[in-house]
Structure 1
Amino acid sequence: MSRRERVADPPQEARGPRGAAVTVTGLSKTFPSGEGGITAVREADLAIEPGGTVALTGPSGSGKSTLLHLIGAIDVPDAGTITVDGTEITAAGRGALSRYRRTVGFVFQRFHLLPALTARDNVIAPLLPYRRRAGALARATELLAAVGLAGREDALPSQLSGGQQQRVAIARALIGDPGLLLADEPTGNLDSATGTEIIELLLALNTDLGTTMVIATHDPSIAARCDRTVSLRDGRIT
């Protein structure tokens, strides 16, 4: 599948460029460790255009995952600002941050699927505190078809391959129609062929949906497929 080849058509209301614009300024994060702590991100500055794809690269411990977690409001910075679509999320209160997280899709190296739930119920799980299950079922079914899992909606994670589980995780990340998708080593637990399929899928979904995408990766071939590559070393963008 080429960079511009399309996956199964997404739902009509999801079409069109609607990615989030992200601006990071002077961002720093230090974790307690020993006497001085470990600074995972140091005075990072980064601007991401709406609908763009950005690869974060660097060795283990360089700060890639921490930067993703800060942008996604999974963690809180010690200094600096993060602005998404003109709103400074680093100045937001708890309720506003909770609402912001619902506009962000997360894909992790470990799939984090709930083993007792079917593929479809795993996809709708993030919506259940806020939306009726019945209203989300059709959307989940459409997304599973879009990631190539039509007919596997009732399969449990144990009945799916690693690549299929990651496809479920991608559908789950998209269930809230996010303007921003953050993927942390999304192919790290997959063999090379399956990993290539997953990256092709993510890039095709980016083309179809216009979602801004940031991918943390060790793989230079993945970084080469993105619009931009941002390298980190010792918490600094180099």
Structure 2
Amino acid sequence: MVTKGSTARASAGTARAATSSGDRTGYPTGAHVRLEGVLKSFPLGQRERLVAVDHVDLELEPGSLTALTGPSGSGKSTLLHLVGAIERADSGSVRVDGHELVGASRARLTRYRRSVGFVFQRFHLLPSLSVLDNVLVPLLPERAERAGAVERARELLDAVGLAAREDALPATLSGGQQQRVAIARALVVRPRLLVADEPTGNLDSRTGRSVLDLLLGLRATHPMTVVLSTHDPLVAAACERTVHILDGRTVAA
């Protein structure tokens, strides 16, 4: 039996405040995510399969900030990939704002992914593009030409403290600066859901804390539901809720 494990550290009023500020800022409010009985496995040899996510039930309230913790190989990243539709569940239900992802068409999942903000441990910036163009990548090919796209990207670079580096190439930036660009890139689509896989994992502790503080601070002006994975107890402690993952299942924290 799967046990839902979480430590709630913030009241529902926090989420409601984020929702109302979304109306004021013009950014959408956070998404509601519900997983029920989600199973995901991968081939392991010719006859066996490795179960990465084992019949998980999980609910993310709109505007919430949730940390997934657990050892390497526990299924944290796979669970994030299912929420972000990078991977497709074998069975169960993954619903975002009432829309089912399991069994959805490839075209619909592509559209969904373009509305989600993604931040990864390894940044995944394109080395031949400038900082500004990297932020605009999620809007390509057609949406980057729309009025206001470049202005929005520049506003986000200013928000993460990199307005003066918009013409720089990623190789000239520090790891912390590259992750700040990645956060700006994630926000350019005005996401209702942000998925962050070990966002401080490639950074030293001081830089990681700076990036985390930036991400948490941006929620005040960019209301969204945030779910992240982390090995760092300090990162988990800064979140409103912690869900511990072990052997693909949620367990009591």
Deviation at 1:205, TM superposition (A): 1.3
Task: Describe how 1:78-227 pairs up with structure 2 within 5 A.
Answer: 78-133=90-145, 135=147, 136-227=149-240
Q: In structure 1, what is the Cα distance between the partners aligned to 2:109 and 2:28?
A: 24
Q: Normalising by the residue count of structure 1, what TM-score does the alignment of the two structures yield? A: 0.92
Structure 2, unmatched stretches of 5+, are 1-13, 15-21
SS in 1 for 2:221: helix
Worse-matched range after superposition: 99-108 or 88-97: 88-97
Equivalent residue pairs, number: 230
Contact 1:109/1:187 (8 A) holds in 2 = yes
Cα distance per residue 1:166-224 (max 9 Å; x no partner): 00001001111010000000111111100000111111112321110001000111111
The letter of the residue matching 1:31 is F
Cα distance per residue 1:35-58 (max 9 Å; x no partner): 322100000000000010000000
SS in 2 for 1:209: coil
- CA shift in 2, pair 1:164/1:185, >3 Å: same
Pick from 19, 26, 32 the counterpart of residue 21 of structure 1.
32
Give the equivalent residue in structure 1 for 2:9: none
RMSD across aligned positions (CA): 1.9
Deviation at 1:95, TM superposition (A): 1.6
The letter of the residue matching 1:22 is V
Q: Say whether residues 1:59 and 2:71 are aligned partners.
A: yes
Q: Which runs of 4+ in 1 moved over 6 A?
A: none
Cα distance per residue 1:116-164 (max 9 Å; x no partner): 1110000001111231436321111001011111211111101111100
Q: In structure 1, what is the Cα distance between the partners aligned to 2:53 and 2:121?
A: 20
SS in 1 for 2:163: coil
Structure 1, unmatched stretches of 5+, are 5-10
Worse-matched range after superposition: 163-172 or 94-103: 94-103
Contact 1:108/1:183 (8 A) holds in 2 = yes
Contact 1:15/1:208 (8 A) holds in 2 = no
Q: In structure 1, what is the Cα distance between the partners aligned to 2:138 and 2:28?
A: 23
Q: In structure 1, what is the Cα distance between the partners aligned to 2:84 and 2:166?
A: 28
Contact 1:17/1:51 (8 A) holds in 2 = no
Instruction: Report sequence identity in percent.
Output: 59
Contact 1:55/1:217 (8 A) holds in 2 = yes
